[in-house]
Amino acid sequence: MSFKSFKFDPKIEAGISACGYTIPTPIQKEAIPPILDGRDILGLAQTGTGKTAAFVLPLLQRLLDGPRKKVRALIVAPTRELAEQIHADISKMAQKTGLRSISIYGGVGKHPQIKAIRSGVEIIVACPGRLLDLLNDRAFSLKAVEALVLDEADHMFDKGFLPDIRRIIKQLPTKRQSLVFSATMPKEIRHLAENILINPATVQINHTQPVLAISHVLFQVAKEQKTSLLKTIIQKEEMKSTLVFTRTKHKAKSLALILQKAGYKAASIQGNLSQVKRQEALNGFKNGTFKILVATDIAARGIDVKGISHVINYDVPDTAETYTHRTGRTGRAERTGQAFIFAGQEDRKIISLIERNLGKKMSCRETPGFAWDTKGAVSAKKGKRFSRPMPIGKKSASGGRGRNQHSGVFSLAISKSRTARP
């Protein structure tokens, strides 16, 4: 199957060629036809699956006909980086269509954004907070919107944006196409989908598929040894481009500084940075100025960088789903990638959950001088093995490892008989 089978307008096909797309990804195969048919969509797919093109291309086809210089499509994203990335993708795909988009988010001045919108754009890609600010200021209207996209809806819930989303939706026409994409399906997102989607087509892309191209490696290490272990691994491994995850903004900043002082080309991206500094760090990582980017989970949303060879979980994630989000940034586009995780005895439970999600054990790699004993203390003796290794990957009483946590996730109570939005 090729993109030709979708019979896009030649202007859109030119954008597809410019992006280098040849064969549709699974989510593009499943989502594009019903979106072209005008149906609402509920999609479960993680980052790195080609999701953006899956909704942008059919939206461009829809917008080719009809009035120009009116806001006719609204895409809402949880972070500035993701909004900017979607906008950049739209600009490339729409380059021959004459359709224009703008990304709007906080951290920069309102007036240039208002001026750009009023000059005439058909697509707005927005973060909820700034969008609501501008709507409250009556800077523009959403009355002409024909299509709404909520991207990474689960992370909008994580950031507390759902009340803002509901207020934004109230300002949209009830007659519209609505598309909701999420990597996971917490009950709050399920309820939102039930309220705003009418007889949706459901698209589920197995969230473990991208992981097949990734090698998952566990390093058993005490907390106080993680920074030394990280520097040792960077020295030994052939790392072209490495994304390192920490849990806190402070740790992201301090770890990047430590790596810089050690002579590595490193930068951090975290919430305390200004938008200009965040973009400088991200651009430097994309163009190779920085080989290592240290990031928090929230700040990393929307990072779409080709050729990331390694993802290092310096701090273990809070959930197995977050691990999937993190590691999905390597092993893309049929390339292989490496995902490392640093863990101590206190992390046994989350490691077990991650392995259940993966459907397999991670390989456990010993690095001489870095490990923990049965009490969690560090061994100073190189190569010493411990008498009680971490009991990871233990089979659960409820049926063992390998169950897809999201199986059956689309048995949602969405009324198929409803013909109007509330």
Instruction: Specify the CATH number for the domain of residue 25.
Output: 3.40.50.300
Claim to verify: residue 268 and residue 147 sit in the same structural domain: no
Tell me whether residue 395 is in a domain.
Answer: no
Tell me whether residue 338 is in a domain.
Answer: yes
Domain ends where: 364, 388, 403? 364
| Residue 415 vs residues 103, 174, 336, 421: alpha-carbon distances, Å | 33, 16, 41, 11
Tell me whether residue 409 is in a domain.
Answer: no
Tell me whether residue 370 is in a domain.
Answer: no
Domain ends where: 204, 219, 238? 204
CA distance 409 to 407: 5
Claim to verify: residue 196 and residue 214 sit in the same structural domain: no
Quote the domain boundaries for residue 19.
Answer: 3-204
Tell me the β-bridge partners of 218: 341, 364
Strands (E) across 66-130 are located at 73-76, 101-104, 123-126
Claim to verify: residue 215 and residue 196 sit in the same structural domain: no
Is 377 strand, coil or helix?
coil
Claim to verify: residue 172 and residue 248 sit in the same structural domain: no
Tell me how many degrees the CA angle 32-209-292 measures, rounded to the nearest 5: 100
Tell me whether residue 124 is in a domain.
Answer: yes
Claim to verify: residue 234 and residue 165 sit in the same structural domain: no
Claim to verify: residue 198 and residue 223 sit in the same structural domain: no
Tell me whether residue 420 is in a domain.
Answer: no
Claim to verify: residue 194 and residue 270 sit in the same structural domain: no
Claim to verify: residue 357 and residue 217 sit in the same structural domain: yes
Residue type, 185: M
Residue type, 30: E
Reference 85, options 51, 112, 111, 113; nearest CA is 51
- List the chain pLDDT tens, one digit each, 422 residues: 889 999 999 999 999 999 889 899 899 999 999 999 999 999 988 777 789 999 999 999 999 998 999 999 999 999 888 899 899 999 999 999 999 999 999 988 899 999 999 999 999 999 999 999 999 999 999 999 999 999 999 888 878 899 999 999 999 999 999 999 998 788 898 899 999 999 999 998 765 444 457 889 999 998 999 999 999 999 888 888 999 999 999 999 999 999 999 999 999 988 777 778 888 888 899 888 999 999 988 766 667 777 888 999 999 998 887 888 788 777 655 567 899 999 998 999 999 999 988 888 898 887 777 765 434 333 333 333 333 333 333 333 333 333 333 333 333 444 444 455 65
For residue 415, give every residue at least 6 positions away whose Cβ sits within 8 Å of its Cβ, in sequence order, or none. Answer: 194, 199
* Tokens representing residue 90 in the block: 């739209």
For residue 53, give every residue at least 6 positions away whose Cβ sits within 8 Å of its Cβ, in sequence order, or none. Answer: 19, 21, 28, 89, 93
DSSP letter assigned to residue 204? E
Claim to verify: residue 14 and residue 100 sit in the same structural domain: yes
CA 174, distance to chain mean position in Å, is: 28
Claim to verify: residue 254 and residue 344 sit in the same structural domain: yes
Tell me whether residue 176 is in a domain.
Answer: yes
Q: State how many domains the chain has.
A: 2
Claim to verify: residue 79 and residue 172 sit in the same structural domain: yes
Claim to verify: residue 153 and residue 269 sit in the same structural domain: no
Q: Is 369 exposed, middle or buried (0-12, 13-18, 19+ CB in 10 A)?
A: middle
| 270: alpha, beta or left? (left if phi > 0; alpha if psi -120 to 50) | beta
Domain ends where: 137, 169, 204? 204
Helix (H) / strand (E) containing 18: helix 10-18
CA distance 422 to 401: 41
